[in-house]
Structure 1
Amino acid sequence: MSEPPLHSPAAHPPRGWRWLALAWVLVLVAVAWHQWRFWHAPAIDTDVLALLPAEAGDPAIADATRRIAGNSARDVVVMLGADTPETALRARGVFDAFVQTSAAEQASALLVSDRSPDDWFAQARDFFAPYRDRLLTQAQREALAQTPADALAESALVALYGPMGAPRLTEWRRDPLGLWPQWWQAQAASSGLALDADGLLQVEGRHWAVLQFTLRESAFKLDGERRLQDLLDGAASAATTAAPGLRVLKAGVPLHAESAAVQASREVNTIGWGSLAAVLLLVWLAFRSLRPLLLVALSLLVGCAVALTVTVLVFGKIHLLTLIFGASLVGVAEDYGIHWFASRQGVAAERRWSLLRHLLPGLWLALLTSAMAYLALGLAPFPGLRQMALFSVVGLMAAFLTVILAFPWLDGGRMGTTAFSRWLGGTLARWPRLASRRAFGVLAVAVLLVAVPGLFKLQANDDLRGLQSSPPALIAQQREVGRLLGMPSPAQFFLVQGRDAEQVLQREERLVARLRQIEAEGSVGGHRALSDWLPSQRQQDEDAALTSRVEQEVLARLSATTGETLARGEFAASAMGIDAFLASSASRPVRHLWLGQVGQGVASVVMVNDLSRPDALAIFAAQAEGLDGVRWVDRTADISRLLTHYRYMMSWLLLAGVVVVFVVLALRYRGQAWRVITPTLLAGVLTVALLGWLGQPLQLFNVLALMLLLGMGIDYGIFLVEHRGDASAWLAVCVGAASTWLSFGLLGLSATPALRAFGLTLLFGIGLVWLLSPLFRPLPDDSSLHGHTSE
């Protein structure tokens, strides 16, 4: 089927084309050099939180979130539960020995055992000892203020001469009332440190050995291999063999990070190589020639390589999810090469430069609309999505430039038609065309029957927890460990701000007083606050004055009773300061709660332990009301609200994009622009309706996929209208759409919810626009197109 521009062959390239091609070759040499350096030490990020919105609000909240996350980013906790203490201790020894032996065999330790609680306690006790008189619980304050001195003296005498009870931690005369052990017991109960003499935790009828490890490297620098889980599974198997009936629980950010890295690595191979195999198979079937196969593969390789290089140069690193999403780019970037070879069939080699001139307007327009859709991803404040947008746009441009600058030089041989291409191109003649009002009516009724009920069934859900991609078993273990150890939630906390540390600690104390009240009522669980370990200087001075007065009265009565002169010991002359406390190992359980300088002042966080009750969030939020400088922060709800906000925003941008694209199309196709855009619009509406029929929630990522559908689906309408629906254009559309459909269909298999939402939306959308586009193709001799195509 001969096209008008090809009647007058041009055996030479356009002016300056040689220099442009040479410049592109030099660019690719530079990219190859960068690729060689990059893959020697790949800067690939696997942090699954990169898809979340960048903090657009209070920097204190962003800082608090980062500190809390960073504090546990390398920590792994293993709990070994047994029926008897002896079994739990035996299992702990075997488990720890297995980890240490594995480290010795591999010449490097993947995990490093954390210091034992006994070591930390000895250091903390030494640090706090001079300040013992300044450390009281609220119950102790009330008891000292309300109990008569005689009763306290009798108690102290019983403690001195009575049976040995709990360890005193210091000599009797420095703590005659046994206040310090009581303070430590309160700290242990609120900090998950309530271990027995063997270092075991007894909960719910089991004795639990708690092992703490630290990942030697960052949790987000894992390489996609299942090393950490295999190590822990091997140790668990050895411990279970030594202690039958053992229950093993594992938790920690590194486990989730490794799971995400392993999953992402698997999906890169599945989606990337699957897409490439599908594209090359379709190209081989269509052209049955090695040259199209190699050149299309070259355009894809160049597109991905240039995209990776530019992304790394701009962002400093590339996210693994960007590589997964970029792997689906294979299904889009090949459209240009396929369109070239579909049009080259039956065209003599000496006329390929005329063919290039003929194809350029449609190719430029297809690139423009696709790039606009991908760039729209970058409007959302998601670091990961901005990387994906840049990667995709650069990859498309690189593939496009390779086709127009290199293919005419490299594709100089004969290009005949194949039986498959003739059959596939010929199917267009048998495809119905909407040429009457009745046909339009039938299509409208069919669309309404599918769309209206589906849209009514559709439910929006932007809950952040719906994006969780860790294995359910791992999530269940994480929750169980958190429940047994009373670990606080990293996503919900109180933010306390003030002009200096003293004001922050005083405000914390007022908040903690409220929290203790609802804890005593049984409404919620415990909390973790810096002020529980480091009271404000005002509180320390009040406690020091109270203990000094009461203990001197008690010692005076004891002196009279025993006939021995008893004097109080020496204590620190001044209050414990924030700098000294944070610099000591004693602050380790709560050091991460201190944010330090934020804005014009300083800030800290108070974390809560129990969110199991349905109304727990509301109860905690109410405690911040009326307290200066105190705010309740719910990051899960905040981000979910932000996702909802951007879903609405991107939906309006999608509508604006439709208007802009239609204007661009109208400039070229005038009254026939509706033929190009209508299939994509109908496909978008039907896709959303199908999500409703299937019970899939509408999320931000579905809307972003619809924006991509707008850019990619328009290409098929452009090719069919630009070239008046000829067989070669239909061949290019079918091969390109099939490969794109397979690429994004494979994304629908992703275990990452955001990518799965992308995949499902585009799986439906691309398939529908592929089926609908030929219905709107113009007649071959449609005079309204004359003067607006590439003639």
Structure 2
Amino acid sequence: MTDSQVSPEADRRLRGWRWLALAWWLALVAVAWHQWGFWQSPRIDSDILALLPQDAGDPAVADATRRIAGNSSRDVVVMLGADDAEAVLRARHAFEAFVQDRATKGNDLLVAERSPEDWFAQARDVLAPHRDRLLTAAQRQHLENTPVDTLAESALAALYGPMGAPRLTEWRSDPLGLWPQWWQAQAAASGMTLDGDGLLQAEDRHWAVLQFTLRDSAFKLDGERRLQDLLDGASAAATAAAPGLRVLKAGVPLHAESAAVQANREVNTIGWGSLAAVLLLVWLAFRSLRPLLLVALSLLVGCAVALTVTVLVFGKIHLLTLIFGASLVGVAEDYGIHWFASRQGEPKARRWSLLRHLLPGLWLALLTSAMAYLALGLAPFPGLRQMALFSVVGLTAAFLTVIFAFPWLDGGQMRTTAFSRWLGGTLAGWPRLASRRSGIVLAVIVLVIAVPGLLRVHGNDDLRSLQSSPPALIAQQRDVGRLLGMPSPAQFYLVQGRDAEQVLRREEQLVARLHQAEAQDKVGGHRALSDWLPSQQRQQADAALTTRVENGVLAKLAAATGETLTRGAFATRPLDLETFIASPAALPVRHLWLGQVGQGMASVVMVNDLSRPDALTTFAAQAEGLEGVRWVDRTADISRLLQHYRRMMTGLLLAGVVVVFGVLALRYRWQAWRVITPTLLAGVLTVALLGWLGQPLQLFNVLALMLLLGMGIDYGIFLVEHRGDASAWLAVCVGAASTWLSFGLLGLSATPALRAFGLTLLFGIGLVWLLSPLFRPAPDQPSPPPSPSNGHTSA
């Protein structure tokens, strides 16, 4: 019976199907409207931190991490080093002139920070009235343990002796020179001890330190090397002015731009490469423009709908979601390929009955694939949840496009091609496990490959292994951090208390321990708010100490000189937190104050020079026994979390196998083992091959295995659903080849997580493709019963 001879009941179902199709096309019109607006101003996030799990149970750590990351998200530091100070000054002038010249020509990416001299003048004016309350630990100890007579002699010698360090206030207000000493200590702690020309001396070189702020967001995506090209041009100008100059560049914007450029390149390579591979395979199989255009349409609709839904749910879409989604074309085209493989040789009048015949297998393939992708959303990684939503929606949209559009748009004849006849015919020569002996042979081969490989598998969940920035840029970042004593943004102390005063007192207890460890050369330096703003209690004690000592010194000097000497006036009240934080003086440490967190207040103390032996262990030990003080190692914490979720997702993978097998058993009963066994063997062999190659097992390998479970099942479904006929095998081969190429191209990614995905699926898809025909049922074995309305008996 042809479609033109359908019963009234079938005609009513066809009309209902047309209304559903119309609703789908109207939905696509809304998606197209959203796409037009989205690409006018795309909301694309490339911040790698957005992929990481959030500390929902620990808001203080989460807030501290965001503050530290946000504080430097637009900062760029350039260091120019040479043996000769004059050469460095010439280089600095040439570098700044080049940046300024480009700014006047429209390339105003960078804003130069104010000079250290300008900031120092403002900070000094703010803190000078409170000078008597600002002492270092060494100064405090010196004043407490040194007799007044000795201090008076030192003050007199400094007054009449050779000119030493420059004074920052009137002599009578600071007879012991405590104020310059305090500033020198702060400069040394910040790693910015500069000479009179504003140059840093380190590692037998003179260094000019230039600081810039990126005018726009560091994570703005356009795929162009604008910032790096600007800095490279300025570096070339500086090197021309001072041959032999060493240039170091560091900052989050450089890494962000590198990631954006890399991602733009990979989107084009993976996305367009996958699309080209799919379309080429479709052309070879069908030699018709219609299948080519309709399969491309299903892929375009799938990606567009997925992007729209993801943006509506999350407000924006992550860059890695786009890259991962670009590989979706290798999966979503399976539905269209299966349709056209079954349409070959069939008259166009039977396309509606063909659709009814294919629907059960297509629905089951979509269900199992969607289950695998949805498993990605179980991990608390915002990026993975985006990928899961993008993939499920994209697959569903491609599927709906096939069932709602193809029967109307595919109205022509579909002749078989020589390539499709040859490819479909290869199934006849493919071996099938029809005896116990052949099963034993396969089992022995699998064991020989799998057992040694599995014994070599080892896990590696270190977050640093996911670093994808260029090695040269990472090396420069480390050099700049070492030369400037820049603190680590991933390791710090979190100090909490009921109010600001308690937080500062607890900080002071921690800092006292750090000073002892630093004096013993066990650890490097630190940066703490309490070094700049002591607690009220400490300020009162220091004010009393300096008043007593300096009045005694001035009395001794007055008796010795016969002059009347009185101490200068100071602020009568301690410097409070609000005043200090709002002033320019707080610039170096403002980001360390978190403010209100939960029911109390919090701050962070940052550390630097983690390259020393056992530095992390020593730093962690300093917080032991201190109430309200915690050592936070974000790298180790996230690495432990990655390990936890790798193990959890492995358990879910095994549970997923059981669930999928149950779903298959409902449809195929005792034949279900034929559908799932190729995928299980492919998964085991894939892990073994990773072990043979020495590749560590990470969370992203396990997630790829979950996708393999969903995608590999499709091939078994098609071969069992249609008894392994030539059209089903043609659909499997074309679909598997395009999927294999799509995810295989992910193995070319410079992003380690995507590379792990790609390599795992490169092996997995290839293996399940080769193994599926071995488990196909014999042609005379019954297939699952068709639905009662099915008028089509053969694919």
What's the TM-score bracket when you normalise by the shorter of the two chains? Answer: over 0.9
State the alpha-carbon separation in 1 of the partners of residues 242 and 65 from structure 2: 40
Deviations 1:513-535 (A, max 9, x none): 00000100011111000000000
Q: CA offset at residue 303 of structure 1?
A: 0.4
DSSP 3-state at the match of 2:569: coil
Aligned to 2:220: 221
The answer to whether the 8 A contact 1:6-1:355 is kept is no
State the alpha-carbon separation in 2 of the partners of residues 6 and 347 from structure 1: 12
Aligned to 1:27: 27
Q: 5+ residue gaps in structure 2?
A: none
State the alpha-carbon separation in 2 of the partners of residues 764 and 5 from structure 1: 44
DSSP 3-state at the match of 2:248: strand
Aligned to 1:396: 395
Q: Is 1:87–2:87 an aligned residue pair?
A: yes
Q: In structure 1, what residue type is equivalent to 2:168?
A: L
Aligned to 1:74: 74
Aligned to 1:749: 748
State the alpha-carbon separation in 1 of the partners of residues 485 and 282 from structure 2: 59
Superposed counterparts of 1:603-614, under 5 Å:
603-614=602-613
State the alpha-carbon separation in 2 of the partners of residues 125 and 330 from structure 1: 62
The answer to whether the 8 A contact 1:112-1:213 is kept is yes
Superposed counterparts of 1:102-141, under 5 Å:
102-106=102-106, 108-141=107-140
Q: In structure 2, what residue type is equivalent to 1:33?
A: W
Superposed counterparts of 1:328-407, under 5 Å:
328-407=327-406
Q: CA offset at residue 131 of structure 1?
A: 0.2
Deviates more, 1:140-149 or 1:442-451: 140-149
Q: Is 1:487–2:490 an aligned residue pair?
A: no
Q: CA offset at residue 170 of structure 1?
A: 0.5
Q: In structure 2, what residue type is equivalent to 1:418?
A: T
Q: CA offset at residue 785 of structure 1?
A: 4.5
The answer to whether the 8 A contact 2:366-2:395 is kept is yes
Aligned to 1:268: 267
DSSP 3-state at the match of 2:524: coil
The answer to whether the 8 A contact 2:496-2:628 is kept is yes
Q: In structure 1, what residue type is equivalent to 2:239?
A: T
Q: CA offset at residue 420 of structure 1?
A: 0.3
Aligned to 1:414: 413
DSSP 3-state at the match of 1:170: coil
Q: CA offset at residue 364 of structure 1?
A: 0.2
Relative to structure 1, the CA distance from residue 363 to residue 661 in structure 2 (aligned partners, 3 Å threshold; closer, same or farther) is: same
Aligned to 1:156: 155
Aligned to 1:565: 564
Aligned to 1:780: 779
Q: In structure 1, what residue type is equivalent to 2:48?
A: V
The answer to whether the 8 A contact 1:271-1:328 is kept is yes
State the alpha-carbon separation in 1 of the partners of residues 376 and 553 from structure 2: 72
DSSP 3-state at the match of 1:184: helix
The answer to whether the 8 A contact 1:672-1:785 is kept is no
Aligned to 2:201: 202
Q: 5+ residue gaps in structure 1?
A: none
Aligned to 2:252: 253
Q: CA offset at residue 780 of structure 1?
A: 1.2
Aligned to 2:669: 670
Percent identity, aligned pairs only? Answer: 83
The answer to whether the 8 A contact 1:668-1:788 is kept is no
Q: In structure 1, what residue type is equivalent to 2:276?
A: A
Deviates more, 1:351-360 or 1:162-171: 162-171
Q: CA offset at residue 50 of structure 1?
A: 2.3
State the alpha-carbon separation in 2 of the partners of residues 518 and 192 from structure 1: 18
Aligned to 2:16: 16
Aligned to 2:175: 176
Q: In structure 2, what residue type is equivalent to 1:485?
A: L
State the alpha-carbon separation in 1 of the partners of residues 178 and 259 from structure 2: 48
Deviations 1:687-715 (A, max 9, x none): 00000000000000000000000000000
Aligned to 1:50: 50
Q: CA offset at residue 614 of structure 1?
A: 3.1
Q: Is 1:282–2:281 an aligned residue pair?
A: yes
Aligned to 2:632: 633
The answer to whether the 8 A contact 1:450-1:686 is kept is yes
The answer to whether the 8 A contact 1:362-1:719 is kept is yes
State the alpha-carbon separation in 1 of the partners of residues 600 and 141 from structure 2: 33
Q: In structure 2, what residue type is equivalent to 1:521?
A: Q
Aligned to 1:456: 455
Deviations 1:330-371 (A, max 9, x none): 000000000000000000001000000000000000000000
Q: In structure 1, what residue type is equivalent to 2:230?
A: L
Deviations 1:291-330 (A, max 9, x none): 0000000000000000000001001111111110000000
DSSP 3-state at the match of 1:417: coil
DSSP 3-state at the match of 2:378: coil
The answer to whether the 8 A contact 1:372-1:711 is kept is yes
State the alpha-carbon separation in 2 of the partners of residues 611 and 143 from structure 1: 30
DSSP 3-state at the match of 1:198: coil
State the alpha-carbon separation in 1 of the partners of residues 53 and 720 from structure 2: 40
Q: In structure 2, what residue type is equivalent to 1:281?
A: L
DSSP 3-state at the match of 1:197: coil
Q: CA offset at residue 193 of structure 1?
A: 2.0
DSSP 3-state at the match of 1:697: coil
DSSP 3-state at the match of 1:754: helix
Deviates more, 1:10-19 or 1:341-350: 10-19
DSSP 3-state at the match of 1:76: strand
DSSP 3-state at the match of 2:39: helix
Superposed counterparts of 1:308-707, under 5 Å:
308-707=307-706
Deviates more, 1:447-456 or 1:142-151: 142-151
RMSD of equivalent CA atoms: 1.4
DSSP 3-state at the match of 1:14: helix
The answer to whether the 8 A contact 1:5-1:355 is kept is no
The answer to whether the 8 A contact 2:667-2:784 is kept is no
Aligned to 1:763: 762
Deviations 1:141-165 (A, max 9, x none): 1111111111111111112122111
DSSP 3-state at the match of 2:652: helix
State the alpha-carbon separation in 2 of the partners of residues 7 and 656 from structure 1: 47
Q: CA offset at residue 222 of structure 1?
A: 3.5
Q: CA offset at residue 49 of structure 1?
A: 2.0
Q: In structure 2, what residue type is equivalent to 1:238?
A: A
Relative to structure 1, the CA distance from residue 739 to residue 24 in structure 2 (aligned partners, 3 Å threshold; closer, same or farther) is: same
Q: CA offset at residue 787 of structure 1?
A: 6.4
State the alpha-carbon separation in 1 of the partners of residues 721 and 145 from structure 2: 92
State the alpha-carbon separation in 1 of the partners of residues 53 and 686 from structure 2: 26
Deviations 1:540-565 (A, max 9, x none): 00000000001111111111111111
Aligned to 1:722: 721
The answer to whether the 8 A contact 1:669-1:788 is kept is no
State the alpha-carbon separation in 1 of the partners of residues 2 and 428 from structure 2: 23
The answer to whether the 8 A contact 1:48-1:260 is kept is no
Deviations 1:719-764 (A, max 9, x none): 0000000000000000000000000000000000000000000000
Deviations 1:416-442 (A, max 9, x none): 100000000000001001000000000
Q: CA offset at residue 9 of structure 1?
A: 7.3
The answer to whether the 8 A contact 2:491-2:607 is kept is yes
Aligned to 1:186: 185
Q: In structure 1, what residue type is equivalent to 2:670?
A: G
State the alpha-carbon separation in 2 of the partners of residues 650 and 449 from structure 1: 27
State the alpha-carbon separation in 1 of the partners of residues 54 and 431 from structure 2: 48
Relative to structure 1, the CA distance from residue 403 to residue 224 in structure 2 (aligned partners, 3 Å threshold; closer, same or farther) is: same
Aligned to 2:37: 37
Q: CA offset at residue 51 of structure 1?
A: 2.2
Q: CA offset at residue 8 of structure 1?
A: 8.7
State the alpha-carbon separation in 2 of the partners of residues 401 and 320 from structure 1: 26
The answer to whether the 8 A contact 1:749-1:756 is kept is yes
DSSP 3-state at the match of 2:81: strand
Q: In structure 2, what residue type is equivalent to 1:263?
A: Q
